[in-house]
Amino acid sequence: AAVALPLERAARTQLAAARLPENQLPRPFQTEFTVPPVAKPAYQDDTTDYYEMAMRSAFLQILPAPLPKTEVWGYEGITPGPTIMARRGRNVVVRHKNWIQSPGHEHTSVHLHGNATKPQYDGYANDTTNPGEYKDYHYPNGQDARTLWYHDHGVHVTAFNAYMGCAAFYISHDEHEMSLPIPKGKYDVPLVLRDAIFGTDGQMIFDDQGHSSLFGDVILANGAPWPVMKVERRKYRFRILNASISRGFNLALSDREPMTIIGHDGGLAPEPVEVTSYRHGMAERYEVVIDFARYNVGESVELRNLGLPNTQDFATTNRVMRFDVVSEATDLSNNEIPGVLGNSEHPYSPMKLQESQSVRTRRFEFGREIVNGSEMWTVATDGGPGRIWDPNRVDANPGLDDVEIWEFTNNGGGWFHPIHVHLIDFKILDRDGAPPHPWERGPKDTVYVGEGETVRMIMKFGPHKGRYMIHCHNLVHEDHDMMAQFEVGSGGDDPIASAPARPTS
Ligand code: C2O
Ligand code: CU
């Protein structure tokens, strides 16, 4: 098929007419499940691995031929991008090059979601890199082992850039996690889920329904529509990330057998938790063990999406992927789930924090209000007016090493907000006064705040001073303009001015 020309950004937002009708969507379980490649360092020294990552436009056969190839913007021209593998105590430096050459492409900024970096390396939304420029990001990897991800964070274009494919895994290990007998190697599988809308020309359509939400009818697992994964009769550890713009999932196995939650955004759970389904908002990571030993060779089981309130479901979005059990286990080492998993001694781990340690409580309300004559997504702090993003305004100022309780309220109106706090991990204290759901009792950096809900979290601010963002991870809400910032301590590095030089090449 002829390769389509890159579409103007405007054309991608001119939707419905060109939308691929349901009866022309690919049939489920026709594509093979793959895992994104592991990134190779450009060079290494005693302390640091150096990577070079070019954000590029590329045409990929996402929909099966004869449907045309789809233009994506991806790290190294693939989506999901290459997985960066890190170890605690060893630095990573990534040179992120904005080489996207496509009409309508604007600036980028790269946020590594789950790493406590200095402000100038955090992917601050206004710290933008223009086409033809690069920026070096320094990651110290002091955090506990966990599933991180990096994605675009350019101010006001985050949803579009991420939708086009700028998202990838970054996995960090530590001694404790590696010593556990949990599934490793090829049985430790990164799995990113997202939805998308495709046009009859094979190109992705960006329809955010008037800056409300983008709901696609095609589910991509590691970039493939409803793929099939061949598995052995044993346990697998899936590091599941929801990289959708607006879609939350309610994940379950088709036979409703249990899955075991062993990890969260901030690393291992204190103890394993069995669930028959769980809610997975955008940007959250859940590490989920599925034991395929309960099936016979030749049997299959599907990962399904049971749907959620305030999420537009299509007939096609209840399916996610299928597992075909094709053989006995070829390796039964690391096939256990110990009763104690994470037991973090990290100074900023939220898991042992007590409410009595908190020096103050701050309230944030997430709503939709008229600002300067247009309806916007807003954040109100401590009873103040709902406001939109302003990089010159600081909305909260915790002291370095202060423990605080933050209370998030979703004012309602027909949507949920997954709220992400940069820099720190938190522990959910309660949800409308009730204990957190069984699946969300570990260290987290993003919390699902359902319509009308109030959720309280406890967290300790550090180790860096400076300005960081807090925002809704429905990226359409973030862009229009549900984003605020806090400043840890006073001063600290400037998230923009002290960034390294970014020569054009
Ligand atoms: Cu995953 Cu500030 O974002
Ligand atoms: Cu939101």
Q: How far apart are CA 119 and CA 498, in angstroms?
A: 9
CATH of 9-13+26-173, one of 3.40.50.300, 3.40.50.1970, 2.60.40.420, 3.30.479.10: 2.60.40.420
Q: How far apart are CA 262 and CA 442, in angstroms?
A: 9
Q: How far apart are CA 454 and CA 364, in angstroms?
A: 10
| pLDDT tens digits along 94-106 | 999 999 988 888 8
Calculate how far, in angstroms, residue 426's C-alpha sits from the geometric centre of ligand 2.
Answer: 19
pLDDT at 505 over 90: no
Stretch 444-470: mean pLDDT = 98
Ligand 1 and 467: CB distance under 6 A: no
Ligand nearest to the CA of 475: 2
Q: How far apart are CA 477 and CA 483, in angstroms?
A: 8
CATH 2.30.29.30 fits 185-328, yes or no: no
| Residue 312 DSSP one-character state | -
Task: Decide: 377 and 482 in contact? Cβ < 8 Å.
Answer: yes
Question: What pLDDT, on the 0 to 100 scale, is given for residue 500?
Answer: 57
Calculate how far, in angstroms, residue 34's C-alpha sits from the geometric centre of ligand 2.
Answer: 31
Question: What pLDDT, on the 0 to 100 scale, is given for residue 502?
Answer: 60
* pLDDT tier at 4, thresholds 50, 70, 90: very low
| pLDDT tens digits along 154-211 | 999 999 999 999 999 999 999 999 999 999 999 999 999 999 999 999 999 999 998 9
435 vs 505: which has the higher pLDDT: 435
Calculate how far, in angstroms, residue 153's C-alpha sits from the geometric centre of ligand 1.
Answer: 7
pLDDT at 75 over 60: yes
Question: What pLDDT, on the 0 to 100 scale, is given for residue 308?
Answer: 97
Stretch 240-247: mean pLDDT = 98
3-class DSSP string for 113-124: ECCCCCHHHCCC
Stretch 414-418: mean pLDDT = 97
- Output the residue whose Cα is nearest ligand 1's atom 1: 113
Question: What pLDDT, on the 0 to 100 scale, is given for residue 3?
Answer: 36
Q: How far apart are CA 107 and CA 105, in angstroms?
A: 7
293-330 exposure pattern, b = at least 16 Cβ within 10 A, e = fewer: eebeeeeebbbbbeebebbbebebbbbbbbbbbeeeee
At CA 39, angle to CA 37 and CA 43, rounded to 5? Answer: 155
CATH of 355-488, one of 2.60.40.420, 3.20.20.80, 1.10.540.10, 1.10.1040.10: 2.60.40.420
- Do 9-13+26-173 and 355-488 have matching folds? yes
Calculate how far, in angstroms, residue 128's C-alpha sits from the geometric centre of ligand 1.
Answer: 15
Ligand 1 and 420: CB distance under 6 A: yes
Ligand nearest to the CA of 154: 1
Ligand nearest to the CA of 410: 2
The mean of the pLDDT values for the chain is: 94
pLDDT at 136 over 50: yes
**Residues around the ion ligand 2 (C-beta < 5 A):** 417, 472, 474, 477
Ligand nearest to the CA of 243: 1
Calculate how far, in angstroms, residue 203's C-alpha sits from the geometric centre of ligand 2.
Answer: 26
3-state secondary structure of 439: helix
Stretch 314-336: mean pLDDT = 98
Ordered by start, the domain boundaries in the chain are 9-13+26-173, 185-328, 355-488
Stretch 473-483: mean pLDDT = 97
Ligand 1 and 477: CB distance under 6 A: no
Ligand 1 and 67: CB distance under 6 A: no
Calculate how far, in angstroms, residue 161's C-alpha sits from the geometric centre of ligand 1.
Answer: 13
